Amino acid sequence: MKVFLFLPLVATTLLACDRIVSSPDPEPGTLSISFVDASSKGAEIPDTNSFILSIRDDGDGPVWTGLFADAPKELSLPSGEYTVEAVSRAFTGPVFDSPQYGDRQTVEILPGRISAVHLSCAMLNSAVRLQFSEQFVADYPGGNLYVKSAEGTLMYSYGEKRTGYFYPGTIWVLFNRNGTSQTLATRELAPREVLVLRIGSGSSVKDVDAVAERYGDGISIEVDTTHTWTCENYYYGNPGDGGSNEDLSGAYSVGQARSKAAGGEKGVWVYGYIAGGDLTSKSCSFSAPFKSNTNLVLAPDNNTASRESCLAVQLSQGDIRDALNLVDHPELLGKLVYLKGNLVEKYYGMPGLQGLSGFRLQ
């Protein structure tokens, strides 16, 4: 009688499978974190030791959280992708005098290797500062300005000297007086941008210029803790030409100006968005860099890049050309402007505006 024993074969199979399943874990890698030297002459650098550091794995699970000063110089981690973030403070929405600095990077940890992350110290949020002319305060007593974002609203009284900080994105400047509220301006804030908006009264346009002198030109670009200061003047009421009280409520839109160009009206106000320049009889440019300082095109909105929808504008030699030409001022691209001049049927083959005698940037 023959007896067949299967146990040795089964045992061998189990042992073989056990050797596959119990293979050793991959060798870990090492994460090294440091801040790039953020020293910059004249810049106030936050103390990076007090930054809040967080390390998360690719599943967004927390690996390490705490002050940067308490973090290990090197951290042994399983291989994979990790997100490293360091911020100078928590920031949850509009608040005065609360710049947030920091950086966020993704790093891959490889077995047996040191992966170094060098964080930079840059401002992450955006800011708005309002300045009020003396004439504006006298003309509109009891008013309040509000800056609103998707996350909340800050009130700016006339005596407010602080800077409000916001998440990058759209903000609205609201004027509230006698129970009535209206929107003065809408702006799109970029990270690190500090918008300085000077509020002046239409009854004294020159008053805003006095504010500009008292506060300086308001533009400063600093390396590392980079603040991009954008200064704009806003005139509430009836901004005039050369200090007069001309009413701009009857200004033509670009579409209206195009339709009326054949009539050759003189001394009219037209408003639109600076869309480009470098005009020829058949083309124009809608992106920088620009080569010609003698012309520009005005669009009905700040998203238009169509010659057929625009108004051609001649910039004759003088102060207006110096102030508005896109060769020297490419930052004006997309800005709303009011121009006073003479409508012409054709300028570079397009309805146009020539003989400018006044302008107002909004």
| Per-residue pLDDT, 246 | 59
d(CA 144, CA 136): 12
| CB-based contact 134:200 (threshold 8 Å) | no
> Does a cis peptide bond (omega within 30 degrees of 0) precede residue 289?
yes
| CB-based contact 163:95 (threshold 8 Å) | no
Q: What is the CATH number of domain 126-236?
A: 2.60.40
| Per-residue pLDDT, 202 | 57
Residue 108's identity, in one-letter code, is E
* Residuewise pLDDT in 10s, the chain (362 residues): 444 433 333 333 333 333 444 445 678 999 999 887 544 333 456 788 899 999 999 887 899 999 999 999 899 999 999 999 999 999 999 999 999 999 888 999 999 999 988 888 888 999 998 888 888 888 888 888 999 999 999 999 999 999 999 999 999 999 998 888 888 888 888 888 888 888 877 554 444 444 444 434 332 222 233 455 665 656 565 433 333 345 676 788 888 899 899 999 999 999 888 999 999 988 999 998 999 999 999 988 777 778 888 999 999 998 899 999 999 999 899 888 999 999 999 999 999 999 999 888 87
Alpha-helical segments (H) within the chain: 7-21, 134-139, 206-215, 254-260, 319-324
| Per-residue pLDDT, 145 | 92
| Per-residue pLDDT, 97 | 93
| CB-based contact 323:293 (threshold 8 Å) | no
| Per-residue pLDDT, 237 | 54
| Per-residue pLDDT, 182 | 86
Q: Which DSSP category does 28 fall into?
A: P
pTM of the complete model: 0.55
Domains 29-122 and 254-361 share a fold: no
How crowded is residue 81: how many other Cβ atoms within 10 Å of its Cβ?
Answer: 12
Contacts of 95 (CB under 8 A, 6+ apart): 154, 164, 165
Q: What is the CATH number of domain 29-122?
A: 2.60.40
Q: In CATH, what is the architecture of 254-361?
A: Beta Barrel (2.40)
| Per-residue pLDDT, 239 | 39
Domain boundaries defined on the chain: 29-122, 126-236, 254-361
